[in-house]
Amino acid sequence: MKYKIIIIAGLIVSSLFSSCQQFEDDYLDAEAPSTTDEALLFSNAGLAKGAIDGIKVPFGETNSYRGRFLPYYGLNTDVEWHNTSQTDGDKADLCVYDAKPANSEMNTTNNAYAMMYQGIERANICIRGLRKYGNPLPGTELGQLLGEALTLRAIYYADLVKTWGDVPYRFEPITPETLYLAKTNRDEIYKQLIADLGEASTLVAWPNETAYTSTVEHVNKAFVKAFRARLAMAASGYQQYPGNFGGVRRSTDPDLSVDKMYALALKECREVIANGSAKLETTFEGLWKKYNQEVITAGGESLWEIPFADGRGRMLFTFAVRHTSASDQFQANGANRGGVAGPLPFVFYDYDQADTRRDVTCVPYKYGTAVNNIAKQELNTLDTWYFGKYRYEWMTRRVTSTNDDGVNKIYMRYAEVLLIAAEAANELEGPAAAASYLKEIRRRAFPAAAQAVKVDAYVNALTDKQSMFNAIVDENKYEFTGEMERKQSLIRWNLLKVKLDEAKAKMTDLKARTGSYADVPSTLYYKYAADNVSLIIYGLNRGENVSPGADYTAATWTKLEDTKIASLYKAGVNPDLRQFWPIWQVFIETSNNMLVNDYGYGSN
C-alpha cells in the first residue's frame, strides 16, 4: 500500500491535466502537456493555469463536496435542519451530532476528507513549482496563480479544520518520510493559513482589475481578504479541543488572541469595503435570482464560488424548493429533487414581517405531480419548509441531468464582510463603530418606507456591546439561513447548544401557539393565481385568523410532532461536545496507527 500511495503522489502533477472526467473538462482549457517536467510547467503561465485549475477538481468528485460534504455539513442549527432528522440512519446521524466513524455515507476512501487532502497535495505541488521555477511577483500572471493556489489550499484546510478539528499538517508535497502523519493542533494550521492568505492578498488582483478576476470562479483580492477575516474570527473563537486541556474554550496561543485576530479581521474587512470592488446586490431577491441564473461576473456580492460543471454539483438537487415530478415546466432533474433540508418552522415567524429576506429564504410549498408537464405549487405542513434561495424556477438553463444540477456554491459573499466588520468593531471599538455596517445590511433588507424604524431607530438603540452583539447574532440568522454557515458561527460564539435548546423551545411554543408564537394562525387559506400554478396564501402572517373569502380553501397548519422537535440533535448527546465529525474508520485503519479519534468517538 505504501508503494501505491507514493506512486500516486508522484503522478499527481500529471493527473492535474487529465481530461478523462467531465468535471475536469470544465477547467482544463489549456493543451495538456506531455511531460511532468515542473520546470516547464510552472515557468509558463498558460500551462501553470491548467495546474491551478486542477486543484479544483476534487471539489466535484462524487463523494466529495458535490455529494457528501455540502449536502450534510452545517445542518442542524438553530435555523436549519435535515428535513428527515427524526428518521434514524446514517444520513440523519451526520446532522444530529451522532456521526460514527463507520458511517456508511462517509466511510469510503474517496470521501470528502480524502478529496480535501488530494486538493491540498495538488496545491502543494503547484506552490512548490511556482516558487521554484516561476517568478510569481505581484502584478504578474504567475503571481496571481500562486496567490490562487495558496488560497485554494486554505479553503480545503479551513473546511477540514471546521469539520474534523485537529488534522494532519501537510504544507509540502508528500514524501516517503511524510506519508503517515499524526494530527497537529489546529492552532498551528490556522496560523499557517492566515499567513498564507496574507501573502496571497499581495499577489492576486481585485475583482475586475484584470480579465482573470472578472469571474467569481477565480480568486480575487476581495475574497482573499474577507476569507482571511473569517478565519481570524474562527481561530480566536470558542471551539472544542481534545485532551487534558480540552473542552470548549478559546485558543491559548497568544498569536490567536481575540485582540489580535479581531484587529486583523477588522482591518481586512475595512480594506475590502473601502476598495469598493465588491458590494451588496441592490435587493436580496435579486441576489438569489442572479445566483440561480448562474451569473458569475465579479464585482457584486458573491466573492468566490466553488465552480461546478453542468454535470457536477448538487446545490439545487439537494436544497432547492422541492419538485415532486421527474420533469416539469422548470426542470428535468429527476423526481423529488430539492427539499432535503430547510429552515426550522419558527424561522419564518422570527423575521420582521417587513423584512424582504423572509419570503426569499422560507418557502412553505413544493411543486406537486406534473400534469402535461406542468406542476403546481402545493402547501407543505408546518414542520416542513424549504430554502427559497435555491429555485429551479429561477434558472435560465433547464437542468436535464438526473444526478446533478451544476449550480455553483457561493463560498463567501460581501454581506459577511459587513457583519464581520460589525462584530469586530463592536468588540474593539464599541457599538457606535459597528452601527454603520449593521445598518447597511438592514437597509438592503427593508423597504424605504420602513427604514427609519427598522434600520436607523433599531440600530441606534443598540448602545452597549452586548445588545449590539446579540443583534449581530440575529442578523446573521436573517441573512444566512440556508447557506449552512451558521454552525461554525454558533461554535465560535460558544452558543451552539444554547441556541439549539432555544430552537427546541421555540418549536414547542409554536406547536402549542404559546409564548412568542401565540398569534401564529393555525389555519391557512389558499387559492391559485391567474397562472394556475402559483399559490396565493393568506394566514402565514401573525394575526391573519379570518377567512379572506369563499374562493379560498382552508388548510390546517399545525403538524409539528414532538419527535421531530426532539430530533434537532440526538437524545443523550451534548452538541457542544460533538462539534466535529469523527475521522472515518477507513482512514484510521490505513494511517499506520498515526490517527486516532478524539471526543469519545469509538470505532463504530
Q: What is the mean pLDDT of residues 427-434?
A: 98
CA-CA-CA-CA dihedral for 159, 165, 166, 171, to nearest 10: 10
Taking 90 as the threshold, does the pLDDT of residue 19 lie above it?
no
Give the mean model confidence (pLDDT) for residues 467-486.
Answer: 98
Per-residue DSSP letters for 113-163? HHHHHHHHHHHHHHHHHHHHHS---TTSHHHHHHHHHHHHHHHHHHHHHHH
H or E stretch at 289? helix 284-292
Q: Find out whether 464 and 472 touch, Cβ atoms under 8 Å.
A: no
Question: Is 80 exceeded by the pLDDT of residue 25?
Answer: no
Q: What does the pLDDT read at residue 243?
A: 85
Q: Which three cell numbers stand for residue 298?
A: 465579479
- DSSP H helices, 204-239, are 221-236
Q: How far apart are CA 15 and CA 452, in angstroms?
A: 58
Rounded mean pLDDT of 348-354? Answer: 98
Phi, psi dihedrals of residue 64, rounded to the nearest 5°: -95, -140
Q: Cell 491540498 sits at which residue?
A: 120
* For residues 141-158, average pLDDT: 98
Instruction: Name which of 302, 454, 291 is nearest 387 in CA terms.
Output: 291
Mean pLDDT of the chain: 93
Task: Give the model's pLDDT for residue 20.
Answer: 32
What confidence score (pLDDT) does residue 36 get?
A: 52
- Give yes or no for a contact between 345 and 85, defined as CB atoms under 8 angstroms apart: no
- With residues binned 3-state (H G I as helix, E B as strand, rest as coil), the percentages for the chain, rounded to 5, are 45, 10, 45
Q: What is the CATH number of domain 1-64+110-203?
A: 1.25.40.890
**Alpha-carbon distance 566 to 540, whole Å?**
24
Q: What is the pLDDT of residue 7?
A: 29
**Is 80 exceeded by the pLDDT of residue 506?**
yes
Instruction: Tell which wins on pLDDT, 604 or 94.
Output: 94
Minimum mean pLDDT range among 100-104, 331-335, 385-389, 596-600: 596-600
First to last CA, the chain: 24
Residue 27 has pLDDT above 80, yes or no: no
Asked whether the beta carbons of 324 and 369 are under 8 A apart, the reply is yes
For the beta carbon of residue 542, count every other beta carbon within 10 angstroms. 14
Residue 8 has pLDDT above 60, yes or no: no
Q: Report which of 519, 510, 452, 477 is spatially closest to residue 358, judged by C-alpha positions.
A: 477
Please determine, for residue 18, whether its predicted confidence score (pLDDT) is greater than 50: no
Beta-bridged to residue 538, according to DSSP, are: 525
- Burial string for 274-294 (b: 16+ CB within 10 Å, else e) reads eeebbebbeebbebbbbbbee
pLDDT number for residue 1: 28
Work out the average pLDDT over 132-139: 96
Measured distance CA(361)–CA(343) in Å, rounded: 8
What is d(CA 67, CA 246) in angstroms, rounded to the nearest whole number?
Answer: 32
Q: Determine how many CB atoms are found less than 10 A away from the CB of residue 260.
A: 15
Query: What gap in Å lies between CA 17 and CA 27, rounded to an integer?
Result: 10
How many Å is the maximal CA-CA distance in the chain? 77
Query: To 10 degrees, the CA torsion angle through 541, 546, 547, 553?
Result: 60
Cα separation, 381 vs 558, in Å, equals 7
Q: Which residue has the cell 495538456?
A: 32
CA distance 398 to 392: 8
Q: Report, as an integer, the average pLDDT of 520-539.
A: 98
Distance in angstroms (rounded) separating the CA atoms of residues 116 and 306: 13
Q: Is 44 exposed, middle or buried (0-12, 13-18, 19+ CB in 10 A)?
A: middle
CA distance 193 to 139: 22
CA distance 401 to 381: 29
Say if CB 345 and CB 382 are below 8 A apart: yes
pLDDT for 577 beyond 60: yes
Which pLDDT score is estimated for 602?
65
Distance CA 222, CA 277 (A): 7
Distances (CA, A) of 496 to 115, 130, 232, 507, 564: 28, 42, 19, 17, 19
pLDDT band (50, 70, 90) for residue 245? confident
Q: What is the pLDDT of residue 594?
A: 97
Q: What is the pLDDT of residues 366-422, one digit of tens each?
A: 999 999 999 999 999 999 999 999 999 999 999 999 999 999 999 999 999 999 999
Residue 601 pLDDT:
85
CA distances to 75, 288, 329, 433 from 295, in Å = 27, 10, 22, 34
Q: How far apart are CA 548 and CA 270, in angstroms?
A: 49
Helix (H/G/I), strand (E/B), else coil: 337: strand
The 10s digit of each residue's pLDDT in 187-241 is 999 999 999 999 999 999 999 999 999 999 999 999 999 999 999 999 999 999 9
Residue 56 has pLDDT above 90, yes or no: yes
Residue listed under C-alpha cell 480540552: 246
Count H helices and E strands in the chain, helices first: 24, 13
> For residue 219, what is the DSSP state?
-
Using the predicted structure, report yes or no on whether residue 4 has a pLDDT greater than 80. Answer: no
The amino acid sitting at 518 is A
